[in-house]
Amino acid sequence: RLKALNRLQVILQHLKMSKQTDSTAEVLLEKKGGAGIITLNRPKALNALNLSMIQQIYPQIKAWEKDPETFLIIIKGAGGKAFCAGGDIRAITEAGKVGDKLSQDFFRGEYRLNNAVGTCKKPYVALIDGITMGGGVGVSIHGHFRVATEKTLFAMPETAIGLFPDVGGGYFLPRLSGKIGYYLALTGCRLKGRDVLKAGVATHFVESEKLPALEKDLIALKSPSKEKIADLLNSYHMKCTVDQEKEFVLDEHMEKINSLFSANSMEEIVKKLKQDGSAFAMKQLETINKMSPTSLKLTLRQLREGASMSLQDVLRMEYRLSQACMKGHDFYEGVRAVLIDKDQSPKWKPAALEEVSDEFVDNCFKPLGDDDLKL
C-alpha cells in the first residue's frame, strides 16, 4: 500500500511539474536527469520576483532537497537579458500604501527563500547571466556556486529607492574583501562581467554562449558530489579567456575604499570623503548625496552588525528593517522618483543625514514580537 501511495505521489509531482513547464508560467520548475531546474520566466519584467514565484520556488527547493534522485539544483533566468533584476517593487509599493498584507508576506516569503538557498543541502548552481540585482542576488549569492558571464551586471541599488540592501545583504556584503561590500551597499555601484567574480560575488566565470553546454554537462553528471560539480565548473572557468587580462575595476581604488568606508558613522564617511578630495572620493560623495539619508544610516548599521551574525539572524534583522521602511516615507518616494515618474529627483524626509536620529535608527532594529520573521 505504501508503495502504491508513493508511486501516486511521484505521478502527481510529475503532473505538477509538467503543468509548470507551460511557457507562460512565471517560473518553470523541471527535473532533467539528476538536476532540478528553476527558470525565472518573466523576461519582459527582467525576471523580477513576485510573491507567487517565491511561493512556487520555496516548496520545490525543499522537495528536491529531500529527493534522493535529485543531486543538484540549477537556477537561471529566461530571455537572455536578465537573471533577475530584483523584487517586484511596484506591487509592494501599491500594497504598502494601502496597508495591504503583501508588504509583509512578500518580504517574509522572500527571506525564507533566501534562507532555503543558504541552507540547501544539495549543491545549488546559479547561472547569473545578465542583470542580477536585489532579489536576484538573494536567490543566487547564498548558494554554493554562482556562475557569472560577460553579460552579468551586478548591483545592490536599494539606497537610491529608500530601502537597504536586503535579501541577506547584511550577511554577504560585509564578508567581501576589505570594505568592498560597504562601498557597493552605500553607493549602489554596478559591477560588470569578470569584475563580479573579482569582487567575490561570483565563484566562476564562463562565456554566456557556453551556458547551455555547461547546463547540459551538469545535467549529465551521474549522482555527482559537490566536488564533481566544482570540477566541471572549474574546467569551464579555466577555458574562458574573455577579459582575462583586464584589471579589477576597483583595484586602483581599493586603498581608498578600505580607508574611507571603514568609518563608524555615515557622517564620518562623508567627512572623510570631503577631506580626501580626490576625483574618486568626490564622485562617491556626489552619489551618496543622492541617496536616502535614512537608508544610508540603516544600511551602514545593518552591515556592521551583520558582519558577525548568522544568515538567519541577519534575515530576521532585515525583516524588521523592511517593515520599518514600509511604514516610512522614503521608500514610496524613492520608487516614485526612480520607477514610476522617473524624474530621478526624490524628496527625502529627513533630507539630511544629521536629521536622522540615532533613536529613530534604533527603533527600526527593534524586535517585532510575534510578527518577527520565523525561519
Q: Which residues form the catalytic set?
A: 87, 135, 158, 166
Question: Considering the chain, what is the average pLDDT of its residues?
Answer: 95
pTM of the entire predicted model: 0.93
Give per-residue pLDDT as tens, 129-176: 999 999 999 999 999 999 999 999 999 999 999 999 999 999 999 999
| pLDDT exceeds cutoff 60 at 21 | no
241 has a pLDDT exceeding 80: yes
Closest by Cα among 151, 127, 132 to 203: 127
The structural domains of the chain, with segments of one domain joined by +, span 23-371
Query: What is the distance between the alpha carbons of residues 256 and 324, in angstroms, rounded to a whole number?
Result: 32
3-state secondary structure 277-292: CCHHHHHHHHHHHHCC
Share of the chain above pLDDT 90, in %: 92
The CATH number for 23-371, chosen from 3.30.530.20, 3.90.226.10, 3.30.420.40, 3.30.430.20, is 3.90.226.10
The model's pLDDT over 321-345, given as tens digits with 9 standing for 90+, comes to 999 999 999 999 999 999 999 999 9
State residue 4's pLDDT score.
Answer: 67
Coil, strand or helix: which one is 264?
coil
Query: What pLDDT sits at residue 24?
Result: 85
pLDDT confidence of residue 5: 65
* pLDDT, tens only, 43-92: 999 999 999 999 999 999 999 999 999 999 999 999 999 999 999 999 99
pLDDT of residue 19 exceeding 60, the answer is: no
How far CA 289 is from CA of 59, 248, 258, 357, in Å, comes to 42, 26, 20, 18
N- to C-terminal Cα distance for the chain?
Answer: 35
